[in-house]
Chain A
């Protein structure tokens, strides 16, 4: 009688499809996954601690390094928390500019998601198309703030500079070509039989499971819960703008892909409205250079590209925060990996990992 035994396969921290330095230990029975345990911490830089050793305003560039493919959203999350703590009123023009850059960044981030999902499923051509189009967004950011990755554009009290005069035309152009390249993904990825087979019905999650893991962002919307903080909290000028929250039905990888795919269109809608409704005025609030927020604490959350991005800041009245804690959506979403992988095959683990779309800079913080 032949004996079979289970074995452990260590995927990562050096592995082509772990999006950075994550280690996933898979307990396998043949090709079937019995348990998937993510081991993280390889990219830990102590950003929370670093934020405590800088003044409030100096902290912004560190948030760029959290989720480095959607830095604008991190800037926004941190600045909103500080503004709430110090009770700074942000000018309306700055709020609109923030919506424009944050939503453009969401588009760029979801394009990275589509690209990396494609390459994890072996379709390297799909990845290059997505990254080609992400370049267009990065070019816009280059125009706005001179940087392509770590922007440090959204500052406490507003934004660092007004939009350049040629931005509106360039952004308009981008929004015009967006449906074209989205159609291209539809042709090379969405319509592909193998792509659908790989995603449909795999790594299914129930609403209860997703809620018990406290998943947020596209991952919770994929299981059918329309939880979007832009709608729920209605921060900034989002209540004035019209957009839908796409939700999935089955909670499988296909829905996770579809939700993000549709969100790109919604973000484009938001950018269009914000661009059209952009009011005149200041782009920066007036507040003392040496910012000393009153004693107290604040938890401020925004809808990052990957879910609920929350900043918890305690102030002791001094120029530096006493304590900063960041609720990183990638970190929390990643805990669902085990549930998503059990009973699936090795190939599905890669798809599941990619569908959660964690970013190691944010997971390890």
Chain B
């Protein structure tokens, strides 16, 4: 009964970590060792979440896309519904030959996919998965998260440059243009949320939503701007100009194969999950909301054509950014008016 009360009060994850901590304290009886072990478990859990998400999302994407395209989708591996398809995909990728293109800059080329995965995974450190269950609950969480996510530009540029391929190079250059221009509206759309909750700490933002309305309802414009720029940030259609298979084949990924390519893939899905979490942090409905958001992104991908690079950049600077700025202005006026009343 007591445990039930704690769970209700603190959330499942926090309770679980408390029990674990208590158990390790019994075994090791040293704060330092227990702290290290707990952080290790945290890292493991986050990596686990990312891998599971990647597996679930690959399957979901195949199924969602199949249903949109009047097909059935995977239906052989793992029963009628092809439940083991992602596992089969993974095994296939791992057993593939690792082709290293001739004339590439070996070190930079090999580093790029790994480096791309770092910011994608690092963002999760600040996510409040549940009440008080964030790996590092820093007071500038939102800021740090944006700063880290913008690091993803570099690995794309690296792989584009190092692949010794013109397609990859064009893709790399496009990435820089695209990500830089969509960072601005994204930041400003999040600014409205920060203004409302009065804090950059992720847990406070979640807390503020459980007390007042959800931010998706209070900041609809910011939400729309965020979703669009997040689509661009994660390089998904209609803004997938980075990989753009009909023009530049696969852009920066063109020269990668096997596990290296899988890392790009993994990073993409990790990003997809993180942007889906970002605007709708909740406590109880967490999973459902995330899945709904992921579905929205998949929906975009399989129904929209691709934009052209100039149209995409113009859209960011001429439409999204003014919208986001206007949203900040109105949010400010609204907050001020409320205080005054």
Contact = CB atoms under 8 A, between A and B. Distances in A.
Contact of B307 (A17, A31, A198): A198
B265 interface: no
Nearest to B304: A194
Given A121-B305, A348-B308, 15 more contacts: A7-B166, A16-B246, A17-B245, A17-B247, A121-B246, A122-B306, A125-B65, A132-B70, A194-B304, A195-B305, A198-B307, A198-B308, A346-B248, A347-B244, A347-B308
Nearest to A195: B305
Contacts of B237: 122
Given A9-B166, A16-B249, A132-B70, A125 B303 contact: yes
B302 interface: yes
A350 B69 CA distance: 23
A54 interface: no
Contact of B245 (A10, A16, A128, A132): A16
Interface of B: 65, 68-71, 166-167, 170, 237-238, 240-241, 244-249, 302-311
Size bin of chain A's contact surface: 20 to 34
B302 A122 contact: no
A120 B248 CA distance: 11
A168 to B, nearest CB: 28
Contact of A192 (B70, B245, B249, B304): B304
Contacts of A45: none
A180 to B, nearest CB: 14
A346 B69 CA distance: 27
A128 B70 contact: yes
Nearest to A120: B246
A10 B165 CA distance: 11
A57 interface: no
Contacts of A15: 249
Contacts of A126: 305
A94 B170 CA distance: 55
Interface in A287-314: none
Contacts of B240: 122
Interface in A109-126: 118-126
Interface string A345-357: 1111110000000
Contacts of A17: 245-247
A14 B248 CA distance: 12
B305 A123 contact: yes
Choose among A7, A31, A120 the residue with the greatest number of B CB atoms under 10 Å from its CB. A31
B307 A123 contact: no
Contact of A194 (B68, B71, B245, B306): B306
Contacts of B70: 128-129, 132
Nearest to B240: A122
A192 B69 contact: no
A188 interface: yes
13 contacts: A16-B245, A31-B309, A121-B246, A122-B304, A123-B304, A132-B70, A188-B303, A194-B305, A195-B305, A346-B248, A346-B309, A347-B309, A350-B246
